[in-house]
Homo-oligomer: A and B are copies of this chain.
């Protein structure tokens, strides 16, 4: 059992540098149990993240249009507000995405199609700053969650860093700017 897990996870462990965590995550998923952490990074869905304060909002077009809010824990919010870069260890950023839908109710009030709202949740992405644990990925660990459970796809999780690392280094690999 351990050998199989070991073999399966080795490639990504080398990339991520969080060898032990990857083992744990895959051991869980091999047993068919709900994994608590994301693959590769072992990032979990923080308790109470839905109640965190608001950083900003965005709409993404593309293959799966969504509308999204970005929330932050206290450490992240302090850094956003004070413009602290890089973000300090312990900062966690949550991105909650929803289907992008027009609102028949609102459009009826306005007399035209103009209102686009959040439909059903699609997924929640979590970024955790830990400059030592995630040293090989710019200090950030990533996780994606659907219905409260981590998406087990290593391809998706590797895609997080692959995309964020294209940002200018001065952003600390964070897309979002704080909205006043």
Contact = CB atoms under 8 A, between A and B. Distances in A.
A67 B71 contact: no
B179 A96 contact: yes
Contacts of A51: 53
A173 to B, nearest CB: 10
A109 interface: yes
B114 A61 contact: yes
Nearest to A119: B179
B58 A115 contact: yes
Contacts of A171: 105
Contacts of A110: 62, 163
Copies in the complex: 2
A117 B58 contact: yes
Interface in A18-34: none
A51 to B, nearest CB: 5
A86 interface: no
Given A62-B110, A105-B167, A109-B163, A179 B57 contact: no
A153 interface: no
Contacts of A132: none
Contact of A62 (B53, B100, B114): B114
Interface string A151-180: 000000000000100111001000111011
Interface of A: 50-54, 56-62, 67-69, 71, 96, 98, 100, 103, 105-106, 108-110, 112-118, 121, 163, 166-168, 171, 175-177, 179-180
Given A50-B54, A69-B179, A108-B166, 4 more contacts: A59-B100, A61-B115, A62-B112, A109-B167
